[in-house]
Chain A
Amino acid sequence: MTYLDSGTSMPNHGADSDSDESVLSLELRTTASTVSIPTIRTVAADLAARADFDLDSIDDLRMAVDDLCAMLVRIAAADATLYCTFTVRPERIEVAAETDVDDLADPLPTGSFAWRVLQCLADEVGATSVPAEPGRRGRVRITLAKDALTAPQP
């Protein structure tokens, strides 16, 4: 498992304000395997705790990240790598995770039970995919954002 600060040469996944000192960026690179998931969700909860998220939001983020990783691991190609990027902003944590897939059909798991759970737990979710083609693996990327405060129940 690799921890990287934003200053290293890893590809930038699109955060345009990484130079802002109030934003912490952290990337985990693991095998896309179930054994990696407990560590990844623990990192997510730890980041949220350090960012002064309330306890409910920490729990929600832990569950959401677990769900997100489980979805990707389930569809990941053999020996694929799981990339997981955390961007900790004031009052908000964004998570982007992606992995390679072998499925030729649209591999997005957005109709699944896990996806509905993810939508409930996170404040924003998104997914994009590039389906595989013969001889070339596809890629699935799922993003979520969680705000520090739990929205009041209606």
Chain B
Amino acid sequence: MVAEGAPDLPIRPRPSTEPLSYLNGLLSADVRQLEHAVLVVYVAGELDMLTGPPLQDHLGELLATRPDRLIIDLSQVSFMGSTGLSVLICTRQNAIAMGTTLQLSGTSARAISVPLELTGLNQLFEILPTPPTIGDVQR
């Protein structure tokens, strides 16, 4: 886990070779640091009732480090049910409480865009037009 209690020190980047895999390989979440206190979580797989709760716990742990900005990239998510939507909603509330700016990216695929639009959540979240790149990951 990244550094705690020292918000003005750079957070140690999580090594890119340390993806977090959940439950039968159905979902993984790879965390990268784009710059100081800006974290990107690359979620890949199926986001549902089975994989949602551990992802939500993990996002909660990341928010507990009080990053300035947390970006959840969904471009590799092949399925998202309403339980997945509730993970996003809970994480948003958590982010607001922590003073973190929460953004989504990679929402253009139909598996993501339809549930977001049906529920109006696309209006609630700040959505980046393109997924963030990891080219400028701080070493």
Name A's B-contacting residues (CB within 8 A).
34-35, 37-38, 41, 56, 59-60, 62-63, 66-67, 70, 73-74, 113-114, 116-118, 120-121
Identity of the chain A residue whose Cβ is nearest the Cβ of B109 in the assembled complex: A59
* Chain A residues touching B, majority SS: helix
- 6 CB contacts below 8 A, A to B, read A59-B110, A66-B48, A66-B79, A74-B49, A113-B86, A117-B115
Pick the residue among B50, B82, B86, B111 that contacts A59 (CB under 8 A). B111
B81–A67 touching, CB < 8 Å: yes
Bound complex: CA of A100 vs CA of B17, how far in Å? 45
CB distance from B16 to the nearest CB of A (A): 28
Pick the residue among B79, B85, B111 that contacts A117 (CB under 8 A). B85
B82–A117 touching, CB < 8 Å: yes
B119: chain A residues within 8 A (beta carbon): 113, 116-117, 120
CB distance from A62 to the nearest CB of B (A): 7
B110: chain A residues within 8 A (beta carbon): 56, 59
Bound complex: CA of A72 vs CA of B14, how far in Å? 38
Scan B53-95; emit 1 where CB is below 8 A from any A CB, else 0. 0000000000000000000000000011111011000000000
CB distance from A118 to the nearest CB of B (A): 8
A34: chain B residues within 8 A (beta carbon): 48-50
B79: chain A residues within 8 A (beta carbon): 41, 62-63, 66
Scan B85-115; emit 1 where CB is below 8 A from any A CB, else 0. 1100000000000000000000000110011
B82–A38 touching, CB < 8 Å: no
